[in-house]
Amino acid sequence: MMIRSLTLATLFAFAAPLLAADGDSPLAQDRGRLRPLVVIAPSSVDPNLLKLRKALEEPANRDGFKQRGMVLYTVINTIGQRDGKDLDPQATMSLIRDLKLGAGSSQKFVLLGKDGEKKLEQAGYVEPAQLFSTIDQLPAAEKEANAPAPVAAAAQEPTNKPAKAAKPSKAPQPLDD
């Protein structure tokens, strides 16, 4: 019995991090709804990062950013943020893993589509106008991509068939001790 418990505990110890890493990516949560712009910078005073933040404060750029359904992710020395709100370290590392940038990437601007694919990847500064034109040139299917519709909406379609009565379920049987 002790060997079984030890084997099971060892299995969970090795499998738990792998299972936890599957669905915790912030990019997976935005897929189908938003277009993430991920900026990876070596420091918070990086001139390209500051230039982008200043450009996005202008009303025309801010409106263009919102109209195109974009969200800004920044990763500064493994500290991640989504639209200025901090991400936990596990979500930040998952974000970096999803981008598959490698260990040597120092500064990058990566634009992802609603489908989760990279649409633009550049090592230097990217003007907001360049981001907007890249999005505007996307195929119509990607522009209209949305999160999958809930299945319940399909079940509510009216039909001409009368509804069947549900069968009563059996009462649960007591457990033997």
Query: What confidence tens digit (pLDDT) does each residue in 38-85 have?
Result: 998 888 888 988 998 999 999 999 999 899 899 999 998 888 999 889
Parent domain of 31 = 25-121
Cβ atoms of residues 70 and 59 within 8 Å: no
Tell me whether residue 161 is in a domain.
no
Two structure tokens written together for 64: 């263009």
DSSP secondary structure letters along 17-35: HHHHTSS--HHHHHTTT-E
pLDDT of 143 over the 60 cut:
no
Tell me whether residue 101 is in a domain.
yes
pLDDT of 166 over the 60 cut:
yes
Give percent above pLDDT 70 in the chain.
Answer: 69
Tell me whether residue 132 is in a domain.
no
143 Cβ contact partners less than 8 Å away, ≥ 6 residues apart: 135
Mean pLDDT value across residues 145-162? 49
State whether the Cα torsion 84-49-96-42 is positive or negative.
Answer: negative
> What is the structure's pLDDT at 150?
42
State whether the Cα torsion 103-126-73-147 is positive or negative.
Answer: negative
| CATH code: domain of residue 115 | 3.40.30
> What is the structure's pLDDT at 155?
46
> What is the structure's pLDDT at 84?
85
State the total domains in the chain. Answer: 1
Distance separating alpha carbons of residues 126 and 134, to the nearest angstrom: 11
Tell me whether residue 11 is in a domain.
no
Only one residue has tokens 């918070």, namely 44
Q: Work out the number of other CB atoms within 10 angstroms of the CB of residue 87.
A: 18
Tell me whether residue 47 is in a domain.
yes
Give percent above pLDDT 90 in the chain.
Answer: 11
Tell me whether residue 88 is in a domain.
yes
SS3 131: helix
> What is the structure's pLDDT at 125?
86
Tell me whether residue 72 is in a domain.
yes
